[in-house]
Amino acid sequence: MFRVILHLDMDAFYASVEQRDDPALRGQPVIVGSPPTQRGVVCAASYEARKFGVRSAMPSATAGRLCPSGIFVRPRMDRYREESRAIMRIVAATGAVIEQMSIDEAYADVSALCQGPDADASLLQAMPLARKLKEQIRAERQLTATIGVAANKLLAKIASDHQKPDGLTLIAERDKVQFLRPLPVRILFGVGKVTEQVLQRAGVRTVGDLQDYAGDLRALVGSFGPKLKQFAFGEDDRPLELGDDIKSISGEETFLKDTDDRKILRACLREQAADIATRLKRRRLGAHTVQVKVRYGDFKTLTRQISVEEPLTEANDIYRMGCVLLSRGKLVSRPLRLLGLGVSNLREPGAQQLPLF
Ligand SMILES: [Mg+2]
């Protein structure tokens, strides 16, 4: 499968939310942060304020000097978080697998939705999807987003940084090496101030310099060297970090009337298994462990689980394991008040387990 990754980055997020919520701020140099008379810093600045050189993390007093017409607004973090959730819901509704990087930034893996005959054809298929996503965010949230499209996280992020605000940039596999050449090394993931200085002292300023560098980068940047060389050529196999929030997926149902009717119980398991399989597919995961949970009329609750070597992805398989657990544990010895089915121990199916050294 060809990888297709979007990097979505909201434009001047805090300031844009403020400008949206208060029409009087639109088109104005808005500075989100403490007022310049107080000791404090700038949290964010609108594009109008950035023209004056105002940047986030700058002391408010400096920002006030640079931009005397600046309108200072106190940050409303709760409001931004709420907005962030609404935007991420829109992204998730595309069916993408999401790694949220910050309040206004996320990677979305849309590989499953965009497969063409080759890598670049697959990337091209993501363009209508990205356009639609931008339009939807504009229509539903009255905010603009910039999206980068590429075959990996490194390039998708570079693509979204390339043209802002309201941008949409695709870096094709065919063009990536040339695209990166003129850019400063600083844009590569893992190159901070210190590494940048080390590289500059060795005469390496652009990514092109890095591509051409004949010496051993290890001598300059240690064990990061080989990875850095790969990044310079636009290669990056870092997976999306899906976080700890999806250690398991489960569903349960409480019956209107306690039941031991096998037909009803099987139908219930079947439905839960189908739901679980859909959610696994969306995240491109398989499950090594299946669990059933039963509760009787007296609220006594039992769980039984089973683990398998090959990750399960199909509803039918998950359903079958559920049935096995119910009958093997003789759990339906009396009517059930509740029946639940869940999976855990989630992995990417087919992904080789790394040997533990
Ligand atoms: Mg942003």
At residue 351, the pLDDT reads 46
Q: For ligand 1, a single-atom ion, which residues have Cβ within 5 Å?
A: 9-10, 13, 104
Q: Which of 130, 142, 139 is nearest to 167 (CA)?
A: 130
Of all residues in the chain, what percent carry a pLDDT higher than 70? 96
Burial of residue 92 (number of CB atoms within 10 Å: 0-12, 13-18, 19+): middle
Compute the distance from residue 127 Cα to the ligand 1 centre, in Å: 20
Q: Which positions are catalytic?
A: 105
Helix (H) or strand (E) holding 132: helix 119-141
Compute the distance from residue 144 Cα to the ligand 1 centre, in Å: 10
Of all residues in the chain, what percent carry a pLDDT higher than 90? 69
Q: Are 14 and 80 in contact (CB under 8 A)?
A: yes
At residue 309, the pLDDT reads 77
Q: Where are the alpha helices (DSSP H) in 233-314?
A: 262-282
At residue 354, the pLDDT reads 44
Span 312-331, mean pLDDT? 90
How many angstroms separate the CA atoms of 112 and 96, rounded? 8
Report whether pLDDT(111) > 90. yes
> For 272-300, what is each residue's pLDDT tens digit?
999 999 988 887 788 888 999 999 988 88
Q: Give all domains of the chain, ordered by start, each with its CATH number.
A: 5-12+78-176 (3.30.70.270), 14-75 (3.40.1170.60), 183-232 (1.10.150.20), 245-347 (3.30.1490.100)
Return the structure tokens found at 285.
């995961």
Please give the residue that has the higher pLDDT: either 238 or 88. Answer: 88
Q: pTM value?
A: 0.69
Compute the distance from residue 327 Cα to the ligand 1 centre, in Å: 53
Report whether pLDDT(53) > 90. yes
